[in-house]
């Protein structure tokens, strides 16, 4: 199925839950509100014409221009995106779902934004979500064990945030 | 005993216990299997038949620090690993030696500026005896490093406590032996010859215009 057909099928099923869509990108995608993510993803997995049984990858992207001189030209508002790459092995098609989040929950620095976890739908999401949490700083509500996967447990901050400050020292080891 | 052969009468030679111990130690430098990243591939190559570390008695890679004399830190050490490196070092029996192999372990290497989780040099964690630069270093460079460790062992004085320790004199210089047509007794002339040879090679390599 082509991306246009996938989006048309989704529209018929749960059109009200799709916030935005883009079909002319290299990887066509839809944008979903965090509250509707689980419903849309369940449709994507279970609908007989879609059957996305495999979650390839979850990425966290931080959109922020740290240089104040370039902010005007950046072309985006500061936000965090979580990108889900899906593919269907039986029907041989692929698709992308994006969730747009504020950089901090309620604009309070330090409060991580939250999306519902997809572990219940695709078990593969488990470690991917832990990685996104670890490096980009996104909370996954309902995740069975959301602790850091790559960095040490007592690490402070989320290094792939654009405004991350490198630690000066970590347990007595000089950091920079 | 190749190095003693022909120097003494049959069945008889004189040495000091100290030299004997040093000789035995330097000829059985057992490294610990400790590859952390890409540099480990070069370390394995050194252990393999082509470079054959066993020639220097250092080919018996041990899987436990308790049987090892030498820790070749081959690869990127990150902050999470640092405490483990330290712990493994503490578990090794004395005398113990550490080689920092590769740019990463010498000082952060490619991750120096933007590596948020990389230790900027393993010498911040354990004392290092020999640094081998390169990303990754050639197998020959690692062998040279191991020979430097051997030189260090040879220069150590275990029994004469309180006496000044001789600086280890490198038994191998690490210089390349040149073929006779490029070598000369006069170093300036030798250099000229080498430069001429390099130039000739460069000209040979430039593609001719069609
Ligand atoms: S020095 Fe280079 S080859 Fe060695 S571990 Fe670091 S990045 Fe890899």
**What domains are defined for chain B?**
15-177 (3.40.50.12280)
Residue B132 in contact with residue B101, Cβ under 8 Å?
Answer: yes
Residue-wise pLDDT for B187-196, tens only, equals 888 888 888 9
End-to-end CA distance of chain B: 61
Check residue A80 and give its pLDDT: 92
pLDDT band at B154 (very low <50, low <70, confident <90, very high): confident
Under 8 Å CB-to-CB from B64, ≥6 apart: which residues? B32
Q: Which residue of B has its CA nearest to A176?
A: B120
Check residue B155 and give its pLDDT: 75
Q: State whether A173 and B116 contact (CB < 8 Å).
A: no
Residue-wise pLDDT for A63-92, tens only, equals 988 888 888 888 888 899 999 999 999 989
CATH of the domain at A160: 3.30.460.80
**Does A156 reach chain B within 8 Å, measured CB to CB?**
no
**Other CB atoms within 10 Å distance of the CB of residue A16:** 7
Token code pair at residue B107: 């000082």
Ligand 1 centroid – CA B139 distance (Å): 13
Q: State whether B119 and A173 contact (CB < 8 Å).
A: yes
Average pLDDT taken over every residue of chain B: 83
User: Comparing A23-27, A106-110, A139-143, which segment has the lowest mean pLDDT?
Assistant: A106-110
Question: Closest Cα partner for A42 from A139, A120, A123, A101?
Answer: A120
Ligand 1 centroid – CA B9 distance (Å): 51
Query: Has residue B174 got a pLDDT over 80?
Result: no
User: Comparing A136-150, B136-150, B177-191, which segment has the lowest mean pLDDT?
Assistant: B177-191
For ligand 1, atom 8, the nearest C-alpha belongs to: B38
- Interface pTM (ipTM) of the complex? 0.77
Check residue B5 and give its pLDDT: 62
**Which segment, A101-105, A166-170, B96-100, is predicted with the most confidence on average?**
B96-100
Strand partners, A87: A54, A94
Token code pair at residue B183: 């070598």
Q: At what angle do helices B17-26 and B139-155 cross, to 10 degrees?
A: 160
Q: How far is CA B69 from CA A116, B55, B88, B99, B172, in A?
A: 51, 17, 12, 11, 21
Check residue A132 and give its pLDDT: 93
Query: Has residue B12 got a pLDDT over 80?
Result: no
Check residue B179 and give its pLDDT: 80
Ligand 1 centroid – CA B33 distance (Å): 17
Question: Closest Cα partner for A163 from A111, A103, A105, A107?
Answer: A103
Q: How far is CA B209 from CA A174, B200, B206, in A?
A: 55, 18, 9
Ligand 1 centroid – CA B91 distance (Å): 25
Check residue B163 and give its pLDDT: 61
Which residue among B34, B35, B38 is best mutated to probe the pocket of ligand 1, counting the most ligand atoms within 8 A of its Cβ?
B38
Question: Closest Cα partner for B107 from B118, B92, B99?
Answer: B118
Token code pair at residue A77: 């508002």
pTM (two decimals): 0.76
Strand partners, A31: A20, A98
Q: Is any atom of ligand 1 closer than 6 Å to the C-beta of B37?
A: yes
Query: Has residue B170 got a pLDDT over 60?
Result: no
Instruction: Give the residue with greater pLDDT, A22 vs B165.
Output: A22
Q: Which residue of A has its CA nearest to B81?
A: A152
For ligand 1, atom 4, the nearest C-alpha belongs to: B39
Its domain, for residue A68, covers 3-174
Q: How far apart are CA B165 and CA A42, in angstroms?
A: 74
Check residue A20 and give its pLDDT: 86
Nearest to A151 among B83, B117, B120 (CB): B117
Q: State whether A167 and B119 contact (CB < 8 Å).
A: no
Residue-wise pLDDT for B31-55, tens only, equals 998 888 899 999 999 988 998 888 8
Check residue A105 and give its pLDDT: 83
The DSSP element (H or E) to which B52 belongs, if any, is: none
Query: What is the SS3 assignment for A94?
Result: strand
Under 8 Å CB-to-CB from A171, ≥6 apart: which residues? B79, B82, B83
Instruction: Give the residue with greater pLDDT, A100 vs B20.
Output: A100
Q: State whether A159 and B117 contact (CB < 8 Å).
A: yes
* Percent of chain A surpassing pLDDT 70: 99
Q: State whether B116 and A170 contact (CB < 8 Å).
A: no
Check residue A89 and give its pLDDT: 92
Q: Is any atom of ligand 1 closer than 6 Å to the C-beta of B103?
A: yes
Q: At what angle do helices A3-14 and A37-46 cross, to 10 degrees?
A: 120
Check residue B6 and give its pLDDT: 63
**Number of domains comprising chain A:** 1
The DSSP element (H or E) to which B135 belongs, if any, is: none
Concatenating the DSSP letter of every residue in B153-190 gives: HHH--SSSTTSPPPPPPPSS--PPPPPGGG--SSHHHH
Concatenating the DSSP letter of every residue in A3-32 gives: HHHHHHHHHHHHGGGEEEEESSSSS-EEEE
């Amino acid at each position: 199925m082509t991306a246009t057909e996938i989006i048309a099928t989704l529209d018929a099923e749960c059109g009200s839950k799709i916030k935005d869509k883009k079909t002319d990108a290299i990887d066509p995608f839809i944008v979903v509100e965090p509250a509707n993510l689980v419903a849309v993803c369940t449709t994507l997995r279970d609908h007989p014409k879609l059957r996305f049984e495999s979650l390839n990858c979850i990425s966290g992207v931080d959109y922020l221009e740290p240089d104040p001189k370039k902010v005007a030209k950046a072309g985006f508002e500061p936000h965090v995106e979580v990108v889900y790459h899906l593919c269907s092995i039986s029907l041989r098609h692929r698709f992308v779902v994006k969730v747009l989040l504020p950089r901090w929950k309620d604009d309070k620095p330090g409060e991580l934004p939250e999306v519902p976890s997809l572990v219940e739908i695709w078990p593969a999401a488990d470690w991917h979500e832990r990685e996104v949490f670890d490096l980009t700083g996104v909370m996954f509500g309902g995740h069975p064990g959301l602790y850091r996967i790559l960095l040490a447990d007592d690490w402070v901050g989320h290094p792939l945030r654009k405004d991350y400050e490198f630690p000066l020292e970590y347990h007595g080891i000089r950091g920079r | 005993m190749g190095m003693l052969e022909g120097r003494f009468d049959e069945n008889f030679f004189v040495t000091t216990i100290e030299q004997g111990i040093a000789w035995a130690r330097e000829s059985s430098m057992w490294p610990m299997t400790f590859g952390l990243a890409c540099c480990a591939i070069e370390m394995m190559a050194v252990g393999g038949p082509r470079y054959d570390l066993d020639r220097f008695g250092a080919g018996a890679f041990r899987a436990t620090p308790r049987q090892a004399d030498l820790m070749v830190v081959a690869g990127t050490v990150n902050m999470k690993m640092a405490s483990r490196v330290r712990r493994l070092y503490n578990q090794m029996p004395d005398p113990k030696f550490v080689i920092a192999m590769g740019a990463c372990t010498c000082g952060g290497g490619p991750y120096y500026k933007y590596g948020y989780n990389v230790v900027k040099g393993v010498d911040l964690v354990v004392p290092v005896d020999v640094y081998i630069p390169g990303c990754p270093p050639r197998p020959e460079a690692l062998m040279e490093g191991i020979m430097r460790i051997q030189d260090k062992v040879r220069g150590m004085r275990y029994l004469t406590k309180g006496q000044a320790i001789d600086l280890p004199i490198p038994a191998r210089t690490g210089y390349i032996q040149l073929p006779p047509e490029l070598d000369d007794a006069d170093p300036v002339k030798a250099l000229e010859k080498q430069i001429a040879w390099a130039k000739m090679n460069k000209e040979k390599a430039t593609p001719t215009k069609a």
